[in-house]
């Protein structure tokens, strides 16, 4: 086990394919699981959350590609956990539409079709425009605080673009949209939006280097932030809606152009 924490990465075997996972994350799990696991209910949620977050990140970032298949035992072994928290994490991911747990066959990473992506964007457009309206309708101190947070994230996006660091741009872009959702004050809306955004993230990452430089996003984000800061709820909602509609109208043709049928 000491040797395992010194390597640069560890590997998950999924559908006959070896997938690398960062060593630091593996090391942190190993540190938590070298001692006997506490069977009490108080500890279980932490283990489930660890497994859930790690597996979701791997699916979102295409470490596990659509159609990949593996057993719960393989995943539990590589995470240094028992099968129980891994199974519970996979059930959560199944409820979110990211995997399917098949008896006697293991776990399959679900693919999205272009038609699925069109539906996903329809939901995102509706939820994000509502979130922008809700924030812009807040009292001035609160909406100014949120506008400042969004502005700072957008500045990171601009810097990433100037350096032509598309991965950094994508991380900041994702952070901007999640902050917009998470700060709206409606927990049910946020829960729905975050689930559906996880489904769209994979397609966005797969087409990241196929798109023209994303300068429009920074300008459109600035316009959304300005409307929020000024308390213009209807304007903020319309700008958020138009921004996501444009993104959809750029992404979906790329899927057709490059024959991406399973995302």
Q: What share of the chain is helix, strand, coil (3-state, %, to 5)?
A: 65, 10, 25
**pLDDT of res. 45:** 62
Query: Residues 87, 116, 254, 173: is their CA dihedral positive or negative?
Result: negative
Domains of the chain in start order, with CATH, are: 4-109 (1.10.10.10), 114-257 (1.20.120.530)
pLDDT in tens, 57-104: 888 877 788 888 888 888 888 778 888 889 999 999 998 888 899 887
Residue 150 and residue 102: Cα distance in Å, rounded?
A: 41
Question: Which residues of the chain carry a pLDDT beneath 50?
Answer: 1-43
**pLDDT of res. 126:** 97
Starting from the edge strand earliest in sequence, which strands make up the sheet with 99-102, in order? 69-70, 106-109, 99-102
Residue-wise DSSP of 219-249:
HHHHHHHHHHHTT-HHHHHHHHHHHHHHHHH
**pLDDT of res. 21:** 44
Residues in the chain: 263
3-state secondary structure 70-103: ECHHHHHHHHCCCHHHHHHHHHHHHHCCCEEEEC
């Amino acid at each position: 086990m000491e040797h395992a924490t010194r390597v640069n990465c560890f590997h998950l075997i999924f559908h006959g394919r070896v997938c690398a996972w960062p060593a630091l994350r593996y090391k942190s799990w190993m540190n938590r699981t070298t001692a006997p696991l506490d069977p009490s209910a108080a500890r279980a949620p932490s283990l489930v959350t660890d497994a859930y977050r790690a597996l979701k990140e791997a699916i979102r970032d295409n470490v596990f590609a659509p159609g990949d298949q593996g057993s719960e035992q393989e995943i539990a072994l590589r995470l240094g956990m028992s099968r129980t928290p891994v199974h519970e994490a996979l059930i959560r991911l199944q409820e979110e539409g990211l995997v399917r747990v098949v008896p006697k066959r293991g776990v399959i990473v679900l693919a999205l079709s272009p038609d699925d992506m069109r539906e996903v964007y329809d939901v995102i457009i509706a939820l994000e425009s509502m979130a922008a309206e809700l924030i812009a309708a807040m009292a001035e101190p609160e909406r100014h605080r949120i506008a400042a947070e969004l502005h700072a994230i957008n500045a990171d996006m601009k810097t990433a673009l100037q350096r032509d660091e598309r991965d950094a741009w994508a991380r900041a872009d994702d952070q901007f949209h999640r902050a917009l959702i998470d700060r709206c004050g409606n927990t049910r809306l946020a829960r729905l939006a975050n689930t559906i955004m996880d489904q769209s993230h994979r397609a966005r990452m797969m087409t990241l280097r196929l798109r023209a430089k994303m300068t429009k996003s920074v300008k459109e984000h600035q316009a959304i932030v300005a409307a929020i800061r000024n308390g213009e709820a209807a304007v903020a909602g319309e700008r958020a809606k138009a921004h996501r509609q444009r993104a959809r109208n750029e992404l979906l043709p790329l899927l057709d152009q490059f024959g991406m049928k399973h995302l």
